[in-house]
Amino acid sequence: MTDELPAMRASDAEREQTAERLREAMAEGRLDMAEFQERLDAAYTARTRGELVPLVRDLPVAGSGAVPEGLEGPGHSWVGRVGKPATSRGGFAFWGGFGRRGKWTIGRTFTGVAIQAGGEVDLREADFEDRETVIRCFALMGGIVVTVPPELHVEVTGLGFMGGFDDRGAGEGTPGSPRVRITGFALMGGVGVERKRRKGEKKRLEKERQAGELEG
């Protein structure tokens, strides 16, 4: 979008181009949800090019790949990991187990149920359908473990009765991190939330530590 001919009527394609730049900016953490929604509404109701230009003037050109300094290391960039189609919205296990791990995309709402069984939800390599995700865990005489990377924003609000709902994995994430709220109920069972680094990052840090010891 340029400043040329600001009074010219905007086309549907130009409105959609502006909307896409706004979506990318939100996924990168440049816009919060309220500001994104405000600008998106303005984009779709804009009549002229001049009304579209201010909506993206303070944003980088789409696809420029600009990442804030200090956030380009492994596990710290969320660019490209938000806004993908969900591959799973739930897991159920009865006298068995279910697992969601590795490269997958979690739906904006995910429901896990474990009845005398176990469940695993690993978000360390996962992509996200939305920036706001709710994980509902229900454990009946069983257990569910949710594993999250250290950079993810996590809230835990579940309850346990004759069981436990562990909130030790709750905490703030890095700028641009998706927000995940883990809720639900554990009856004579347990739900655990733990923070762990990715396996590849663990190996990288170990190599750096060993190299530092050799240099010392």
Q: Note down pLDDT in tens along the chain; length 216 residues.
A: 444 556 788 888 888 888 888 888 777 778 888 888 898 899 999 998 888 888 988 887 654 444 443 333 444 567 778 888 999 999 999 998 999 999 999 999 999 999 999 999 999 999 999 999 999 999 999 999 999 998 999 999 999 998 899 888 898 888 778 999 999 999 999 999 999 987 665 555 565 555 555 555
Answer whether residue 81 is part of any domain: no
When divided into structural domains, the chain yields a total of 2
Tell me, yes or no, whether 32 and 109 share the same domain. Answer: no
Residue 38 shares a structural domain with residue 101: no
Based on the fold, state whether residues 60 and 145 are members of the same structural domain. no
Residue 103 dihedral angles phi and psi, to the nearest 5°: -90, 105
The answer to whether position 16 is within a domain reads yes
The boundaries of the domain holding residue 25 are: 1-66
Q: Which residue has the tokens 């590849």?
A: 200
Whether residue 93 sits in one domain with residue 188: yes
The tokens for 96 are 């068995």
**Cα separation, 158 vs 156, whole angstroms:** 6
Q: pTM of the full predicted structure?
A: 0.61
Task: State whether 55 and 116 are in the same domain.
Answer: no
Whether residues 122 and 169 share a domain: the answer is: yes
Q: What is the dihedral of CA 3, 27, 88, 165, to 10 degrees?
A: -150
Enclosing H/E stretch for 195 = strand 190-195
Taking Cα atoms as reference points, which of 121, 122, 104 lies closest to residue 112?
A: 121
Distance CA 55, CA 18 (A): 8
**Are 168 and 190 a contacting pair, CB within 8 Å?**
no
Of 89, 3, 87, residue with least CA distance to 48: 3
Q: Are residues 195 and 93 in the same domain?
A: yes
In which order are the strands placed within the sheet that holds 190-195?
97-100, 118-122, 143-148, 190-195, 164-165
Tell me whether residue 106 is in a domain: yes
Q: What is the pLDDT of residue 211?
A: 58
Cα 38 to Cα 19, 34, 89, 133, distances in angstroms: 11, 6, 29, 21
Tokens of 145: 């473990």
The pLDDT of residue 80: 79
Helix (H) or strand (E) holding 59: none
Tokens 């454990």 sit on residue: 139
Burial class (CB within 10 angstroms; exposed 0-12, middle 13-18, buried 19+) of 170: middle
* Average pLDDT in the chain: 83
- 111 and 193 in a single domain? The answer is yes
Each residue of 144-153: pLDDT tens digit?
999 999 899 9
For tokens 């600008």, the residue is: 39
Residue 208, domain member (yes or no): no
93 and 195 belong to one structural domain: yes
Report the pLDDT value the prediction gives residue 201, as an integer from 0 to 100: 59
